Amino acid sequence: MTKKRKKKKKESETERYEIEVEDWEVAYRFESNTAPKDLVEGVFWEHLRLILTGKILSPLEKASSAKIEIASKPHMDDHWKTEPTIKSAKAIGWMEIPKGEDTLTFYCLIPSRSLPSVILAAGLAKVKFVSISGTKLKWRKGTISSVSLSKDR
């Protein structure tokens, strides 16, 4: 009788991506909800995001430029409560290098009450560097576990 060996699940390697911000913009959309009620809740749909573009300082081998889209997720607003609606999370976003492109795009989700302050800081040129931790890119994709915006590197 032979024993079956269990394959060890290979843990994803983590990496820190350092980006120097060169430009920023804001995109906003507000509309009435025409989607089926079981698909999207509520009567209205609002989408606000900050888009930062810049150059990748490290690691250098993956792409020549970066685009960081920071959007709000209202479900994250109660993260500080004793009984939050989201009990656990493996990521706060994802990243990818779209096929045929040389730009690493990060999609970060933050609590909705934080986004206006982040946009204000970007508009006042107080966001010069972004540090993002996440999985090492595999097949040009990965997940994001943390994002940090600052004036100094």
Per-residue pLDDT at 86:
66
DSSP 40: S
Q: Is the CB of residue 118 less than 8 Å from the CB of residue 70?
A: yes
| Segments making up each domain of the chain, as ranges | 15-150
* Cβ neighbour number for residue 61 with a 10 Å cutoff: 7
Per-residue pLDDT at 115:
94
Give percent of the chain with pLDDT exceeding 70. 87
Q: What is the mean pLDDT of the chain?
A: 87
Region of poorest pLDDT, from 5-14, 40-49, 142-151:
5-14
- The Cα–Cα gap between 20 and 144 comes to 18
Token pair belonging to 87: 């009990």
Per-residue pLDDT at 84:
65
Region of poorest pLDDT, from 4-8, 48-52, 120-124:
4-8
- The Cα–Cα gap between 85 and 102 comes to 37
Give 68's contacts (C-beta < 8 A, 6+ positions apart).
19, 51, 52, 53, 54, 105, 106, 108, 130, 132, 147
Higher per-residue pLDDT: 59 or 69: 69
Whole-model pTM: value is 0.84
- The Cα–Cα gap between 14 and 48 comes to 29
- The Cα–Cα gap between 86 and 83 comes to 9
Q: How confident is the model at residue 3 (pLDDT cuts 50, 70, 90)?
A: low
Q: How confident is the model at residue 77 (pLDDT cuts 50, 70, 90)?
A: confident
Higher per-residue pLDDT: 19 or 43: 19
